[in-house]
Chains A and B, each alone.
Chain A
Amino acid sequence: MLSVLAFLLVLFAFICMLFFTPVEQTMGLVQKVFYFHMSAAWVGMLAFLVAAVFGLLYLSRRDMKWDTLTAASVEVGLLFTVICILSGMIWARPIWNTWWTWDPRLTTVTIMAFTYIAFILLRRGVDNPTRRARFSAVYALIGFISVPLTFFSARLLRTIHPVVFGGGEADMNLNPQMLATLFISLVAFTVLYAVLLLQRARLMAQQDKLNQQVAVTDDSYDWGE
């Protein structure tokens, strides 16, 4: 049900983006990447926050479902973060004639992506499920805390070293149509995130069940002598 909603919303946002919004004066058609680029960034950050919250919930409740949700949120968040970075690069190239700028937001988002990847590697390196869950929760927390700190340091860098060429803040005046489309995109992507999160979590939970069955608790347990 939710998946259908997500599909429809994203489709709607896409249509709005193509037809409803005007073409931006200075940047041209490529500017339209902005709506999905910004929405992907938003979801990337949201996913990280959600992962940190689920991590906290695991540490206090010790229910494995929170751990599954943490891991799923990070994976989905990584996906959206990569989309954000790639779409940003696609946008930057024709506008500023460069693939990369040391713009604070881009730097922060990329570091966030690296933290996500590190999280996934950490999970791979721990076999014991409860230990993996504890470590994931801890790393999700500390990773999340470092994001605003990274952002502020990157921003501080910019105020001191204004970029010489290209990479200036895309100063766009968003007219009402653009704002509306942006809002629709944000909502669409958020719903899409929720759908992907639940699907991924469900898949992970089933994989876990397959890999290590939970002990039978009644007297039918086979002590296997």
Chain B
Amino acid sequence: MTLQARQISKAYGAQRVLDKLSLSVDAGELVCLLGANGAGKTTLIRTLSGLQKPDSGEVLWGSKSEGIGALKLRRSIGLILHQPFLYEHLTGFENLRFYSRLYETGLGDADLRKMLGRVGLGSARPISVRGYSRGMKQRLTIARALLCDPHILLFDEPYTGLDQQGCGMLNQLVLEESARNKLVLLTTHELSYIRQVATRFDVLHRGKIAASIPNAGISLDALQEQYSAVVSAGKTTRKEQA
């Protein structure tokens, strides 16, 4: 399955966020979306998940463009946004079980406990999520996103709140999913971690994918350099014009 965005635009009132953006991610790819704060990464993720419709252009999931109208399609997307989608008075296990039942995954209690173990919450005390730290909530929400074994993983800043161990765990997870021919697109500022696993880096700048940097063993410094070059390219031009 390929995830494609074709010439999508989105503006909030006077503010243009996405400007005829085109993007394509294939199964097995692990794409990291880079961009400054406010560049539109979250908007793009939300549009790709179908939660938000672009003002113009279209998003294609595989060959289908009907978006989240189709239940099967919705359930084949694993989504992580800034808010964790968790219910505060349920325990971590109960949250997973709730979503598992809602998704009709058919997973048993043992499978759910295995999932918890996979994200490093296997030995967590059975307290309600209200008592969880930010990092624990993030681990739980990652588990939640993977419950229905989605084909498409859209993660917005998934490293937020995770400690070093957690970041390593996430890296391993996305690598495993990618190896299983899943499609992964995530946004992050944690270049040091994502550099180890991404197949390519797309830079979102001025509403478009300004650059697409393949990860052929690129060093962290080189990546930083290329990123800065792309982002400041526009600025230089304007300065020259002035």
Contacts and interface: CB of A to CB of B under 8 A. Distances in A.
A touching B, CB within 8 angstroms? yes
Nearest to A221: B16
Contacts, number: 24
Main SS class of interface, A: loop
Interface string A208-225: 000011111100010101
A214 B238 contact: no
B238 A225 contact: yes
Interface of B: 9, 11, 13-16, 19, 206-207, 234-235, 238
Nearest to B11: A215
B16 A213 contact: no
A98 B104 CA distance: 64
Given A223-B234, A225-B234, A214 B13 contact: yes
A212 B14 contact: yes
B211 to A, nearest CB: 16
24 contacts: A129-B13, A212-B13, A212-B14, A213-B13, A213-B14, A214-B11, A214-B13, A214-B14, A215-B11, A215-B13, A215-B14, A215-B15, A215-B16, A216-B16, A217-B9, A221-B16, A221-B19, A223-B16, A223-B206, A223-B207, A223-B234, A225-B234, A225-B235, A225-B238
Looking at chain A, what size class is its interface with the partner chain?
Answer: 10 to 19
Contacts of A217: 9
Nearest to B238: A225
B41 to A, nearest CB: 16
A212 B131 CA distance: 42
A58 to B, nearest CB: 15
The residue among A129, A213, A214, A215 with the most chain B CB atoms within 10 A of its own CB is A215
The residue among A212, A213, A225 with the most chain B CB atoms within 10 A of its own CB is A225
Contacts of B11: 214-215
Contacts of B19: 221
